[in-house]
Amino acid sequence: MKKIIPLLLFLLSTVVSAQEISSSEQKMIDFLRSHEKEQIDFLEQTVNINSGTMNPEGVKEVGMLYKKELDALGFKTRWISLPDSLNRGGHLFAEMEGGKGPVILLIGHLDTVFEKDHEFRTFSRDGDIGTGPAVNDMKGGNAMIIYALKALHAAGELKNKSIIVAFTGDEEKPGQPLSVSRHDLVEAGKKADIALGFETASGMDYATVARRGSSGWSLEVKGKQAHSSGIFSESTGAGAIFETARILNSFYTEVKGEELLSFNPGIILGGTEVSYDPTQSKGTAFGKTNVVAGDVVVHGGLRFISEEQKENARSKMKEIVKNNLPQTSATIAFTDSYPAMKPTEGNMALLETLDEVSRDLGYGEVKAYDPGKRGAADISFIAQYVDGLDGLGVMGSGAHSPTETIDLSTFIPLTERAALLIHRLSNNNKK
């Protein structure tokens, strides 16, 4: 009897699961399983076109392959060129209107970190492991979007959905200013109810409900340059280097500590003469042991999980910077780059639906991934407007390195899951 009960339970759960999959969903699954080779060939074709962020022709060429597929599915597609001053390839956006359900935004990116002169150029396969530039970040995820949509189409379930597909052309190194390069993405985010990002998955059992935002800060400290024998005297004071040490130490002891807040001084230059070029991340310093330092610059980064956390940290830093040692002064400036994606209730509800889909397919539970371990991504720019889930892309290893791989044994299962997720979200959450 002991042995029979687990078996019965197992059978029961298989039966229950099987009932959870609708006939339309079964058609999607069948479509994907019978088009595995085609989907892998499609991935290979896109991987073999170099689309480094700074190779606009390549970015557009890859975009045109996706455009052709999306046109064939009935999407209205448009290529969005960016002003020449941004020096970027542009974006491909596609839209399908017609559903009564929520507007679902699917996010991918055309560009890769491998520029035109990089020797890592082509797709190769060894068993279940595919190797090639951007196989997992994120041409694999892009192919998942296309094939999930094809599966919905094959089941006759695409025409009644409202879907926007956004393939940006400069995710790895967004064009500046962000207000221009991310304009269309933000507009799509405002229009959408749900955003699904297909960046690399952190395992079959994880999805991303939160990502930390990132920003920068620069500190400039001035002291009174003088002979070192006079340091600590009323007229000479502490010098710029002691003042900088005070400030950084206070950041460490007074601002550090909140969960998911981190900040890092990445470079420091101090002495009597310093220069720093942020575009090159390089600088020079000159100083002598018998001269009190007059100048220090520090450049750093700050990561945060919410705007409130970021603002709170910044105001604490400003307070510390004001409190100067004798005969010194200091200023701190902040720059924004990526906003945070907070783990909202809406995001958690999307994760619950994904978890259900995954269990129904027999692929097991899906949990929230630790936001401290993920960098920022395009979904961060719209997280304040929509419920979102990211990390729905492929599994693999070595993203951004010349040993980047995709685990092809999970490629179709993850695409099945994506197709069913889009389908259910569109049907369940009618607004």
For residue 99, which phi and psi values (nearest 5 degrees)?
-80, 155
Q: Which stretch binds Zn ion (CB under 5 A): 10-18, 134-142, 187-195, 308-316?
A: 134-142
Examine residue 138 and tell whether it contacts Zn ion (CB under 5 A): yes
Examine residue 43 and tell whether it contacts Zn ion (CB under 5 A): no
Give the nearer residue to Zn ion in terms of CB position, either 138 or 366.
Answer: 138
Q: Which residues pair with 286 in a beta bridge?
A: 273
Residue nearest to Zn ion (CB): 137
- Cα-to-chain-centroid distance, residue 378: 5
By CB under 5 A, how many residues form the interface with Zn ion? 3
Q: What angle do CA 32, 394, 403 make, to 5 degrees?
A: 130
Q: Which stretch binds Zn ion (CB under 5 A): 86-94, 129-137, 217-225, 412-420?
A: 129-137
Give the nearer residue to Zn ion in terms of CB position, either 137 or 220.
Answer: 137
Per-residue x/- track, 250-279, Zn ion (CB under 5 A): ------------------------------
CB of 111 to Zn ion, least distance (A): 9
For residue 245, which phi and psi values (nearest 5 degrees)?
-60, -40
Give the nearer residue to Zn ion in terms of CB position, either 137 or 360.
Answer: 137
CB of 146 to Zn ion, least distance (A): 16
Q: Which stretch binds Zn ion (CB under 5 A): 9-17, 133-141, 182-190, 356-364?
A: 133-141
CB of 377 to Zn ion, least distance (A): 6
Neighbours of 362 (CB within 10 A): 12
Site for Zn ion in 365-394 (CB under 5 A): none
Q: How far apart are CA 228 and CA 273, in angstroms?
A: 16
Per-residue x/- track, 274-313, Zn ion (CB under 5 A): ----------------------------------------
CB of 216 to Zn ion, least distance (A): 20
CB of 372 to Zn ion, least distance (A): 18
Q: Which stretch binds Zn ion (CB under 5 A): 32-40, 197-205, 229-237, 358-366?
A: 197-205
- Cα-to-chain-centroid distance, residue 267: 25
Nearest to 382 by CA among 170, 178, 169: 178
CB of 343 to Zn ion, least distance (A): 20
User: Which sign does the torsion angle of CA 135, 138, 140, 146 carry?
Assistant: negative
Q: How far apart are CA 101 and CA 311, in angstroms?
A: 36
Token match 């690399």: residue? 200
CB of 131 to Zn ion, least distance (A): 17
Both ends of the chain: CA-CA distance in Å? Answer: 49
Q: Which stretch binds Zn ion (CB under 5 A): 24-32, 92-100, 194-202, 343-351?
A: 194-202
Give the nearer residue to Zn ion in terms of CB position, either 25 or 407.
Answer: 407
Contact 162, 98 (CB under 8 A): yes
Helix/strand/coil percentages in the chain, nearest 5: 40, 25, 35
Per-residue x/- track, 199-238, Zn ion (CB under 5 A): x---------------------------------------
Examine residue 137 and tell whether it contacts Zn ion (CB under 5 A): yes
Contact 194, 385 (CB under 8 A): no
CB of 398 to Zn ion, least distance (A): 13
Cα–Cα distances in Å, from 292 out to 147, 269, 330, 424? 65, 14, 16, 67
Q: Residue 4 has which token pair?
A: 């029979």
CB of 204 to Zn ion, least distance (A): 19
Spatial CB neighbours of 387, under 8 Å, sequence gap ≥ 6: 193, 194, 195, 344, 346, 347, 349, 350
**Interaxial angle between packed helices 23-34 and 411-428, expressed in degrees from 0 to 180 and rounded to the nearest 10:** 150
CB of 232 to Zn ion, least distance (A): 52
Binding site for Zn ion (CB under 5 A): 137-138, 199
